[in-house]
Amino acid sequence: MTTLRLDLAYDGSGFRGYAFQEGLHTIQGDLEAALKTVLGHPVETAVAGRTDAGVHARGQVVSLQVDDAPDLERLARSLNGIVGPEIAVNAITPADDGFHARFSARWRRYRYTMSTGIAPDPLARGFEWHVGSRLDVGLMEAAAAEFIGELDFSAFCRSVEGSSNVRRVEESRWEAESDRLHFWIRANAFCHQMVRSIVGLCYDVGRGFTPAVSVHEIIDSADRSRVATVAPPHGLVLWEVGY
């Protein structure tokens, strides 16, 4: 068996998330259908991060195994002809034996973008959350710093019975660019709605709704009801995955 690594980008606007769901339009559904068409048989794929409905990706990684190594350049062209333009297969490369897109990953990095301009940018509105108000970026930066470390993120996730919400965050910061704010976060893994909930809390801090000094207390509470705002999905991009 040959293990292949696929590097993907996609516009998640018209999809119900990455993971296959019967009867729904998903990234995995389209990709595996295209692979079946090109290779002539069904294949099972693994993914680095199962993005939610409406979330985009710039550096998603998928792995799969095939019996015989195909012409990779031709395979990429054929797949792009089927799944494009919403999905782009940017590279297909042979991977080491045992490589698994999910379990071999050491970290994932996301970027969330807000726009504070007077009106939404028509050319970017599908990829940023237009909040249309001035925010205290200094307070938002102070809030973001509270998330660095190995913490229980139960206050920021949809919990799954029997699963831990402890994650190790290595980067959590805001970056200002004209009338846009980018939130960067890198962690070993993420639980459901974690990034969007963190962004929502930082937004509430920036607009004076939640005191920055209470962020640590909210984290310690592990109480999902303490986070009032969940940022919409269209501002979120899976930026890259580290191996």
Distant-in-sequence contacts of 32-40, Cβ < 8 A, 24+ apart: 33/82, 34/78, 34/79, 34/82, 34/83, 35/64, 35/79, 37/82, 38/75, 38/78, 38/79, 38/82, 39/66, 39/70, 39/75
State the DSSP code for 52: P
79 within 8 A of 34, measured Cβ to Cβ: yes
User: Any residues with CB less than 8 A from the CB of 103 and at least 6 apart, and which?
Assistant: 46
Termini Cα distance of the chain = 21
Catalytic residue status for 52:
yes
Catalytic entry in 52, 136, 179, 204: 52
Q: How far, in Å, CA of 99 to CA of 224, rounded?
A: 35
Backbone region of residue 15 per phi and psi (left: phi > 0; alpha: psi in -120 to 50; beta: other values): beta
Check the CA dihedral 198-230-53-56 and report its sign.
negative
Q: Which sequence positions are flagged as catalytic?
A: 52
